[in-house]
Structure formats: C-alpha cells, structure tokens
Amino acid sequence: MKQVQEKISKLVSLLNKYSYDYYVEDNPQISDTEYDTLYKQLEKLEENHPEYILENSPTQRVGDRVLDEFEKITHKVPMLSLSNTFSTEDLRDFDARISKLVPDHSVEYICELKIDGLAISIKYEDGRLVSAATRGDGSIGEDVTENIKTIFSIPKVLKDNRTFEVRGEVYLPRKSFELLNSERESNNEVLFANPRNAAAGSLRQLDSKITAKRRLSAFIYSIVGDDSIVSQENALNTAKEYDLPVNPNFKLCKNIDEVIDYINYWTEHKKDLPYDIDGIVIKVNSYSTQEKVGYTQKSPRWATAYKFPEEELATKLLDVELSVGRTGIITPVAILDPIVISGSTVSKASLHNKDIIEELDIHIDDMVVVKKAGEIIPKVVRVVRELRTESSTKYVMPNTCPSCGQQTYTKENDPFTRCKNPDCPDQNIRRIIHFASRDALNIEGLGDKVVATLYEKGIIAHTIDLFSLEREKLISLDRMGEKSADNLLNAIENSKKSSLDKVIFALGILNVGKKAGKILAEKYLNLSNLMNATLDELVNLDDVGQITAESILDYLSDENNIKFINDLIKVGMNPQYEIQEVNTDNIFAGKTVVLTGKLVELTRNEAKEYLEKYGAKVTGSVTSKTDLVIAGEKAGSKLAKAEQLGIKVINEEEFANMVREVK
C-alpha cells in the first residue's frame, strides 16, 4: 500500500508540474496524449484507493459544486482601480508627480503586462486555498472559491504553511477561447465576443463543472498581508517561489525612459503573446516609497495603467439599425461585416446622430474605418470613398420612430432625432432599466433582459408597475424560480429606502446625472419640494446651468411625470435628504472657495468634497464674495481676476498643508 501511496504522490507532483509549464510558462514539456495517459493512471489509482487522494491532485479540479447564488465577500483591503495614461507625455507627468512627492529618492518602477481579464483576490490559510472573490465594486466582491479551485495554474496547497492574500487576474488564453467558441458554435450557442467576456462569464458560473471545462488561467501580481515583503519585485519573486502563477514578462526599470522603452516593445509585440493584454501597469517598486506617495480616494498615486493606442481597421457597412433611448433620442448604429479590433469581434459601431451621418456621407455597402474609443466603444470614424461602388445607397434618417411608428422631430440647433411619444415601448423599457440600474436604485435581479421580458409579457407597462408586481406572475416566467422571485420583490421593496439623490437620478431627467441629483437633493430636501422648483432657483445652483435647469422644468411640466413622482410618494418613496453635519471649527468653515487650473494630486471633485466636508462653499466663478482661490497648473482668467480683486490665492501644496492642519 505504501508503494501505491508513493506512486499517487509522484503522479500528482509530476502532473502539477506539467500543468504549471503548460498554463503558466506556456512551455509544454510533454504532449497532450502523454499527459492524458498519466492523468488516467492517477484517476484509476485514486478510484481504487480513495483514502490516498491528495487535496492538490489535478483530478480534484473538475468542479462538483452547484450554487444557488454567489455569497458576498468584503475585502479587508479595498481592491482599488488604477488611473489611466495614454501617451508618453502622460507618463512623464506621472513620473514628475512622483518625483515631486519624494524629492530625496531615486524612484524605480516595475512594469507588468496588463492582462485583459477579471481581477481576483485569493486567500491562503496555513498554505491552503480557503476563499476567492471577484473585485466587485472594490469593497465587496462575489465568492467564487469553488470556481477558482478548478483553475490548474492556481495551487490549492502551497509548499509552505503560509497565511496571506494574493491578488491577480483570471483570463482565458486565446487557444481556450477559440476552442470554447468552436464548441458553442457547434451547439448553436451565442459566441463570446472576446476572451475577457468569456473569462468573466466562465468565472461567474454557479455550476463549477462548467468553469472547469473552460480552461481558465491566472496571473498573480500582488501579495497582501505579508510585512516581510518590501517591494513589488520582491512580491512577484515571492509568489513565484510558492509556485503561484506570475507573468514572466515583468521588468524593473531604473527610470521613466526605461519604462517608455518597455511600453514601446510590447506595443509592437503584444500580438505574439498567447493571451490578450490591453496595456502596461507601471508601479513604484519600493513599498516604503509607495506609502510616501500615497493614494487618492479611488486609486494609488504610485501606480498607473498605460493604455495602448486605439486600433483602426476598415470593414464593410452592411446596414444601419436604430436604437431608441429612454429620453426618446434615436441613435443610429452601424451593422458591420465583423472584424477583430484589440482582441474583440466588432459587428456594430456608433454613428451618433444624423449630423455625423451627413458629415461622414454614410452609404450602405460603404467601406468604413472603425476604431475602439478607449479600447471599449467602437465607432465609425470615416468612409473610404475611393472604394465606394454603384451598389452603395445613401442612408437618410427616417422620419418615424422604429419602435412605435410615430413621427420623429428635431430641435433647433440639435443634431438628435427624437420620438416624443411617452408610451413608446423602447422608451418605457429603457426608463425602467435606468430606474433599476446600479447608479440609480440598484435593484438587484432586475437586469435588462428581465425588464424586457416583464414588459413584453404585459406584466409591467410603466416604471411604477414595479411596485405592484405579483409573485405568481414572476414565478411563471422562464428561469425565474421562487427564490429569484422573492429576492427580486425584496430588492424592489428595499429600493424605497434609497437616498434622495439616487431617486432624483433614477427619474431619468434629461441632463441630470449623479452630481446634479445630489445638488438638487441638497437644495429641495424631498420630492415634494422638487416639484415646485423655479427657473431662478435652478440656474442659481452651483453646476446647474441654463440647459439643465430648462430640462428639469420641461420634465416637471409634463403631467405624466408629475403623476409618476406622486405615485412614487404614494408607494413610500419620498426620502428626506439628510443634511450632513460639517466641522465648523476650522479655517475653511463659512468660506467661499473657487478651484481653478489643473490639480495634480486630487481631482476637482475630491478637492470639493474636502472643502464641503469642512464647511466651505465651492463656487464656479470668482466674485467680490470669494474668500479663497485654489490655483492648480495652467490657471487662467479666474486666477487673474482673483489677483485683480486682491483675493487670497494658494497653490495645491498649500491647500494640502491646510487640510492636514484641519485633520
């Protein structure tokens, strides 16, 4: 029996090594057939001697759990996002800011490939993988432990009994992506648009057997909770020592010029990799220097992500489809002969509005040049007129709505075509989707498809109908079990507790975003007061201009909208804005402050939040009533006016020192 146990142990060790070579190093040491032969030997031995099955055996990664839903996991250390840079000039500005914050130190940077996947956090206790969570919103993620255990490149047991958290990126290699889409095509299933979407969808499967079949992989890029690690290079090498998958292409750079050389190399060679990358991550190497450089509210100041330049390709424009938004704006969308841009298959692209269509001189069957804006949203940028054929036909925006068939209209000096029918089906669906969206009332379980199904089945016709949904009708829907129906009804009921600014944003008033929602909440305190708003009041609010003020009054002059607000109040949704207590015992309290120029270490919103927290009023223009002007780089007319009026002016560094004194 001891010989059997030893043989199982040797096979597990050998197969795990081969898996590491294949999935992490992309350097297979044996053929697939040889691997399968060894794997089957192990399976047979384990079948006959289950008492000797090891926790880290590759046979234990097949996935055998089916979950009802994902539990939530709170990240003890938030998973922050990174700021983006797009040019050499941006990178040099980033380096200059770092040097300014640590003038007595020479700064080294670690450059890493930015893997196009899904961020993940994995916890090991006494050397064993105990939990894993997605990034989520940075503070709370989803528990995907069972699915992470199916990924061959991630060890379930470490070589040492270490306790720490590692963070990285789960991705789908191109070979796995091609194989997955080939299987889906043969099963007449919808193909994944790109490896990133496929990776995200695979990791969020409730059935871990499905995840196991997808051949995901991962790279680890940081270790959390180990005080012995002193640098990013140290963290990566430590992770490698424990056989954690680390991308081998990281590089320690002595200065920003070496960083730029690294970026230039991978801009040219990214296609040679067996997986997709969408940029380069640059981090200050030393952890002590990172601490000195610090953080903004959303991201570390000591790191940034360089995004590769946008890729442009030509393809044939097959047709133009029209999409009707919640405000009635009809958006033309180009239907394209599919092409692959920056790792994604693109078959649709934005044409924006009728003016753009006329300016580009769009014809059906034209060859058009498409690019991905910020590597996310595809758009048509020009027509290759030299390739236009006699079969091409000029496209003209129709004068009827594609959803309801009613006449469209355009406003003076406005490029958008609109449908003014308040009962237009597409508008209603979009309004409900917006109402339930994350930035509005965040009604979990009420996604786009659920809303469309409820509408098409006649279960809801308007947003207010959400609050009278019947459990029996929900359960009757495909893929809507009793538990899902109960969760949805509870989420709708809980949405009544939403803050006033979110409710105002959820109304879907044209030009009223999250920021304007907060400003209106602070001014009017509840929905009842908002309905009595006047033009004079609105235009005098900070950051609410004439156009937004008129949009608000247009909305409030419509009897259907007034009825909707009153109906919300009747169902119990009329939150009272809670006025935040501010610290009035400080140098900012009661002062009128103007921010001007480009701030380096803070965004305008962050600086404004600090000032308002300490009782200051932040305005957009300099007047005789202004007490203080904070001037960033390239400050212009506001700075000149402040100097002319003799108003105190400070720079960003002085402002930061004042904030420290207040704290």
Residue 158, by phi and psi: left (phi above 0), alpha (psi -120 to 50) or beta? Answer: beta
Query: Residue 14: CA atoms inside 13 Å, Cβ hemisphere, count?
Result: 16
Alpha-carbon distances, residue 31 vs 34, 36, 38, 217 (angstroms): 5, 9, 11, 19
Amino acid identity, position 96: A
DSSP type of residue 343: T
Active site residue 372: no
Question: Does 33 belong to an annotated binding site?
Answer: yes
State whether the Cα torsion 414-417-423-425 is positive or negative: negative
Question: Does 437 belong to an annotated binding site?
Answer: no
Crossing angle of helices 88-101 and 256-269, rounded to 10°: 150
Question: Does 581 belong to an annotated binding site?
Answer: no
Question: Does 382 belong to an annotated binding site?
Answer: no
Please, are residues 410 and 444 in contact by the beta-carbon 8 Å criterion? Answer: no
Q: Identify the CA nearest to 198 among candidates 219, 221, 220, 175.
A: 175
Question: Does 36 belong to an annotated binding site?
Answer: yes
Q: Identify the CA nearest to 586 among candidates 612, 622, 624, 619.
A: 612
Alpha-carbon distances, residue 150 vs 153, 194, 244, 528, 531 (angstroms): 9, 21, 15, 54, 55
Question: Does 111 belong to an annotated binding site?
Answer: no
- What is the Cα gyration radius of the chain? 29
Question: Does 438 belong to an annotated binding site?
Answer: no
Question: Does 360 belong to an annotated binding site?
Answer: no
> Distance (Å, rounded) from C-alpha 622 to C-alpha 471?
57
> Distance (Å, rounded) from C-alpha 399 to C-alpha 354?
11
Question: Does 253 belong to an annotated binding site?
Answer: no
3-state class of 255 per DSSP? Answer: coil
> Distance (Å, rounded) from C-alpha 441 to C-alpha 498?
6
Question: Does 424 belong to an annotated binding site?
Answer: yes
Q: Identify the CA nearest to 219 among candidates 130, 137, 281.
A: 281
Q: Which of 10, 40, 114, 254 is catalytic?
A: 114
Amino acid identity, position 354: K
> Distance (Å, rounded) from C-alpha 428 to C-alpha 267?
44
> Distance (Å, rounded) from C-alpha 444 to C-alpha 441?
9
- Enumerate the known binding-site residues for Zn(2+): 401, 404, 419, 424
Would you please indicate which residues are annotated as catalytic (active-site) residues?
114
Which residue numbers belong to the known binding site for NAD(+)? 32-36, 81-82, 112, 135, 169, 283, 307
Residues tagged in the binding site annotation: 32-36, 81-82, 112, 135, 169, 283, 307, 401, 404, 419, 424
